[in-house]
């Protein structure tokens, strides 16, 4: 399920206006909010708006070199945005025709010598900035952007990067032929970025979502290989609903049927279709595969499994696509990223509220370097892999199955089945109680997130906030 950042013309114009510093006003109607009689809501409503400040006041990274990158206002945002920078930084200073687009926002909390790199967030990193973990949110169905109480900017300096070259607003000839090439481009860009902003000796964190399950390990490994703690002191990694291992087989096909059976009240598929896919689950070997390998500890390395969908008898085993099209027939607004979505589709300023407009079922066969993620775990001992339970693109048990085929710190997979609850007790409007499952072994933290789809910071921002707190070393368990 590889996706590329290809915004609609309208979305592109919106982004351009949003990031060049245009100003706008929000109507009084847009600022009205119904207020349930709850103390947490009252407390949030009383949170003071950021006061207007001098452009130079407390701006840690602003100087003559970074001034051209400063963003002073955002279209439609009625708040002082504080310190923010955006623009293009070249991959190679000798050839500025290839450059990556970024948004950099220093923390609004106490100053910290660390940077969190978001290398890919679903289709592009700006989607994360705009609708998941940025300082402001403009999610599907929202009339106007609003402050995000669970922004990661509260905790650390955030850098959203459109990568690889050719993605989103990044520019240049696409020359990479492998994930190693992409990783080298990013690391070179990041070194130039640090030189521009006079950054040295910071702790570095790398995070991403979806296909970043490929990018994050390669980029992190490239940083480790530089052996340069002045610029690449990799200290932690986080990936949400990541593509890892043999994604099309392990994370989709082999676990699709039990996922449908567990969520039958959501999918609403008829009995004859359920019987059909259940039979395929057995005849195609998926049920036997799960029975053998989905155990704790794992019995051994999983055999490589791939399909050639152009061969009829192999194409018959493509149950994931069968389910997707059947679900779309029942629910024309079926969203593979969040299976509980139904019609009508809410308006979305990015033109991509779900999977209806852009659909690319099935990841291509991918040669996966086996040592990237294990090397990162062994280097940092602070890697978090999370999966949302309502995601049909990257299914939770499929990600666990992939982990059970990975060797790190001397052992294969998790030795115990994840079972410890993630519990949030502090009062708030939502996201309370038992919100998931956590499990830590040998440097790897696993988090299963309840009632969340593919974009976890968007659907369960409070739980995601806990995740990044753990990665940054602020807390010891979720």
Q: What is the pLDDT along the chain (478 residues), one digit of tens a residue?
A: 233 333 333 333 333 334 433 333 333 322 222 333 344 433 433 333 444 444 556 799 999 999 999 999 887 788 788 999 999 999 998 888 999 999 999 999 899 999 988 766 545 678 888 888 989 888 877 777 888 999 999 999 999 999 999 888 899 999 998 999 999 999 999 999 999 999 999 999 999 998 888 899 999 999 999 999 999 999 999 999 999 888 888 999 999 999 999 999 999 999 999 999 999 999 999 999 999 999 999 999 998 877 777 787 778 999 999 999 999 999 998 999 999 998 888 777 777 666 665 433 332 322 334 557 888 899 999 999 999 999 999 999 999 999 999 999 999 999 999 999 999 887 765 667 899 999 999 999 999 999 998 888 888 998 999 999 999 999 999 9
Q: Please state whether the peptide bond connecting residue 128 to the residue before it is cis, i.e. omega within 30 degrees of 0.
A: no
Q: Which residue has the tokens 């009632």?
A: 451
Which of 391, 439, 452, 467 is an active site residue? 391
Angle in degrees, 0-180, between the axes of helices 396-403 and 286-293, rounded to the nearest 10: 50
Q: What tens digit of pLDDT does each residue of 412-458 get?
A: 999 999 999 999 887 765 667 899 999 999 999 999 999 998 888 88
The sign one gets for the Cα dihedral 82, 85, 86, 87 is positive
The sign one gets for the Cα dihedral 407, 411, 413, 419 is negative
| Alpha carbon of residue 297 to chain centroid | 28
Contact 243, 363 (CB under 8 A): yes
Which of 86, 125, 170, 210 is an active site residue? 210
Q: Please state whether the peptide bond connecting residue 206 to the residue before it is cis, i.e. omega within 30 degrees of 0.
A: no
How much is the pLDDT for 476? Answer: 93
Q: Is 355 a catalytic site residue?
A: no
CA 427 to each of CA 42, 152, 297, 433: distance values in angstroms, whole numbers, following the listed order: 11, 20, 37, 9
What is the rounded radius of gyration, in angstroms, for the C-alpha atoms of the chain? 22
With 0-12 / 13-18 / 19 or more C-beta atoms within 10 angstroms meaning exposed / middle / buried, residue 282 is: exposed
328 contacts: CB under 8 Å, gap ≥ 6: 334
Enumerate domains of the chain plus CATH numbers. 1-244+367-478 (3.40.50.1820)
Q: Please state whether the peptide bond connecting residue 164 to the residue before it is cis, i.e. omega within 30 degrees of 0.
A: yes
Neighbours of 420 (CB within 10 A): 14
Quote the tokens at residue 65: 């070199």
Quote the tokens at residue 188: 């070179």
Q: What tens digit of pLDDT does each residue of 263-284 get?
A: 999 999 999 999 999 999 999 9
Q: Is 454 a catalytic site residue?
A: yes
How much is the pLDDT for 75? Answer: 75
Contact 94, 192 (CB under 8 A): no
Which of 86, 454, 464, 467 is an active site residue? 454
Per residue, what are the HEC states of 16-52? HHHHCCCCCCCCCHHHCCCCCCCHHHHHHHCCCCCCC
Q: Is 86 a catalytic site residue?
A: no
Q: What tens digit of pLDDT does each residue of 187-203 get?
A: 999 999 999 999 999 99
């Amino acid at each position: 399920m590889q996706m590329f950042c290809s915004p609609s013309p309208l979305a592109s114009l919106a982004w351009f206006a949003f990031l060049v510093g245009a100003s706008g006003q929000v109507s009084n109607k847009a600022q009205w909010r119904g207020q349930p009689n709850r103390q947490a809501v009252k407390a949030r409503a009383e949170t003071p708006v950021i006061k207007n400040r001098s452009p130079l006041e407390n701006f840690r990274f602003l100087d003559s070199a970074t001034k051209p990158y400063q963003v002073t206002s955002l279209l439609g945002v009625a708040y002082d945005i504080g310190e923010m920078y955006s623009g293009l930084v070249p991959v190679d200073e000798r050839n500025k025709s290839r450059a990556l687009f970024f948004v950099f926002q220093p923390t609004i909390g106490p100053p910290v010598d660390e940077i969190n790199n978001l290398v890919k967030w679903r289709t592009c990193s700006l989607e994360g900035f705009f609708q998941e973990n940025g300082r402001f949110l403009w999610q599907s169905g929202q009339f106007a952007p609003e402050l995000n109480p669970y922004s990661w900017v509260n905790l650390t300096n955030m850098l959203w990067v459109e990568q690889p070259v050719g993605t989103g607003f990044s520019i240049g000839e696409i020359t990479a032929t492998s994930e190693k090439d992409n990783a080298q481009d990013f690391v070179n860009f990041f070194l130039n970025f640090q030189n521009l902003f006079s950054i040295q000796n910071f702790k570095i964190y790398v995070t991403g979502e979806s296909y970043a399950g490929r990018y994050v390990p390669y980029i992190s490994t490239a940083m480790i290989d530089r052996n340069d703690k002045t610029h690449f002191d990799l200290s932690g990694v986080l990936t949400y609903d990541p593509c890892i291992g043999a994604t099309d087989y392990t994370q989709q096909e082999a676990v699709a049927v039990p996922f449908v059976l567990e969520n039958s009240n959501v999918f609403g598929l008829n009995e004859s279709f359920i019987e059909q896919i259940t039979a395929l689950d057995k005849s195609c070997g998926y049920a036997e595969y799960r029975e053998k390998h989905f155990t704790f500890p794992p019995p051994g390395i999983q055999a490589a499994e791939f399909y050639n969908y152009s061969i009829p008898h192999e194409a018959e085993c493509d149950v994931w696509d069968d389910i997707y099209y059947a679900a779309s027939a029942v629910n024309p607004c079926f969203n593979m990223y969040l299976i509980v979505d139904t019609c009508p589709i809410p308006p979305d300023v990015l033109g991509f509220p779900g999977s209806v407009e852009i659909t690319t079922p099935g990841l291509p066969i991918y040669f996966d370097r086996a040592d990237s993620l294990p090397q990162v775990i062994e280097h940092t001992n602070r890697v978090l892999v999370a999966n949302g339970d309502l995601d049909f693109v990257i299914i939770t048990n499929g990600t666990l199955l992939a982990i059970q085929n990975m060797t790190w710190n001397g052992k294969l997979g998790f030795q115990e089945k994840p079972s410890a609850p993630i519990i949030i007790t502090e009062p708030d409007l939502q996201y309370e109680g038992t919100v998931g499952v956590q499990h830590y072994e040998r440097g790897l933290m696993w988090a299963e997130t309840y009632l969340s789809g593919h974009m976890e910071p968007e659907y369960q921002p409070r739980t995601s906030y806990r995740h990044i707190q753990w990665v940054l070393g602020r807390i010891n368990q979720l």
